[in-house]
Amino acid sequence: MNDGNTAQGLVADLLDLLDVEEIDTDLYRGRRSTGGVGRVFGGQVIAQALQAAQRSAADAGKVAHSLHAYFMRAGSEEHPIIYRVVRDFEGRSFATRRVIAMQRGQPILNMAASFQRVEQGLTHQDAMPDVPPPDALESEQALRVAVADEIPERFREPLLRDRPIEYRPVTPRHWTAPSPASPIQHCWFRAVAPVGDDPATHRSVLAYASDMLLLGTCMLPHGVTWITPGVQTASLDHALWLHEPARTDEWLLYTMDSPWAGHGRGMNRGRIFAADGRLIASVAQEGLVRVRE
């Protein structure tokens, strides 16, 4: 077991978590997260499902370029997750994989992933927003520690625990007394220790990280967070387009906005840029957001 108190140990544990075990042809098992309790983090399920799909396409010489996932049930940290991969299509340029994530005989997530043989083509992209560099910003962890006494006890441990990915928000939000703000946020992030050189692993870590901040964007105009009394949140779906290769142990900028919320749901969009300005991924997610009286 890795020493979870070190940066290297935290990242090693994350990579082990996402490295699904093959138990039969196109059948994989994802282990439980270390110290996890309650509901499984959605990014973990997406990343493990992507790894299972990538395993089934590794021999075809194609690279994952998009995934579309629907969450059906909350996963439990009490049990591992079984991933069944279905090879729906294998073409010369593209391949499609369907992944069903199961716990205790029940599907908790369906995901379709598309793979492409690398080729050249027409090129353009959005410009990266002009924001302060990560070295000029405080980490989200340090910001939370500074208000630890204000965080309700039942949320304190999950908010303050050390994490394998560091986030540095451009405009920090106040967790216990948030004020309404525009539904836009920018945040730098990277793994806290080297991830290695396997591009498939970096894609999996990116999928994991892409679910960490996005849903909170649609709550910004309403002055609430997921620890606000009466707030209920859950990811309903998640789509990720992988445009360019990138290292997740180097700084990446996640820029997010929310164009709409209503009927107990919120729509969120994201773009992820490398520090050199390349647009490496686009993200979209709709989430459940209820405020109960």
- What's CA 276's distance to the chain center, in Å? 22
Give the H or E element holding residue 255.
strand 252-262
Q: What is the model's pLDDT at position 226?
A: 78
106-128 core/surface letters (b: 16 or more CB in 10 A; e: else)? eebbbbbbbbeeeeeeeeeeeeb
Query: Is 106 a residue of the active site?
Result: no
Please state whether the predicted TM-score (pTM) of the whole model is above 0.85.
Answer: yes
pLDDT in tens, 135-193: 999 998 888 877 777 777 767 776 778 899 999 999 988 777 789 999 999 999 999 99
Condensed to tens digits (0 to 9), the pLDDT of residues 208-252 reads 999 999 999 999 999 998 788 889 999 999 999 999 999 999 999
The two structure tokens encoding residue 173: 């939000």
Residue 2: its pLDDT value, please?
Answer: 43
Among residues 56, 139, 204, 235, which one is catalytic? 235
The sign of the dihedral angle between the CA atoms of 207, 211, 212, 217 is positive
pLDDT tens digits, residue range 86-123? Answer: 999 999 999 999 999 999 999 999 999 999 999 999 99
Catalytic residue among 13, 44, 139, 211: 211
* Alpha-helix runs per DSSP H in 77-191: 140-146, 153-160
Predicted pLDDT of residue 75 = 92
> Is 120 one of the catalytic residues?
no
Q: Is 235 a catalytic residue?
A: yes
Q: What was the pLDDT predicted at 175?
A: 73
